[in-house]
Amino acid sequence: MIRLFLSCLLLLAACTPGSKEHHHEEATSTDDPNGALTDQVMAIHDEVMPRLEDIYKLKQNLQEQLTSKDLAEARKTELNNTIARLDSASGAMMSWMHGFNPPADTVEQEKAREYLEEQMERIRQIKEQIAEAIEAGEQQKKP
């Protein structure tokens, strides 16, 4: 549990705006026609990344609720399903980040554009998945 939290914290720190490792310089349209698309993909990543901390906190809250001895079986199932949904959303983001590999300048521009458009669609889907999982977690959360 602590290892997961620390891993998320490290990833969050690595993906903050000051990190040059995961960010691309703003590209000019004359230098890199796909630079704007890369920037858009990374902007969505940067928007979604901090939400992993929300997922972690929600999951902790739901897991604490599961420790209650007087919890009905239906409620346990509901909480476990929501936790699984949060895990799935977080896992999708981690998987995308590990697999995202912006094309090198030497790659044919059309192939690079296709790759980036595919990644844009994937990160948008992950953004939606994370938003829906967080919403479900918030509805289950106890103050």
Digit-by-digit pLDDT tens for the chain (143 residues) are: 444 443 444 444 445 444 434 444 444 444 667 889 999 999 999 999 999 999 999 999 999 999 998 999 999 999 999 999 999 999 999 999 999 998 888 889 999 999 999 999 999 999 999 999 999 999 998 76
- Which sequence spans correspond to the domains of the chain? 34-140
Cβ–Cβ < 8 Å for 76, 28:
no
pTM of the model: 0.77
DSSP secondary structure of 84-103: HHHHHHHHHHHHHHHH--PP
HSE on the CB side for 7, CA within 13 Å?
8
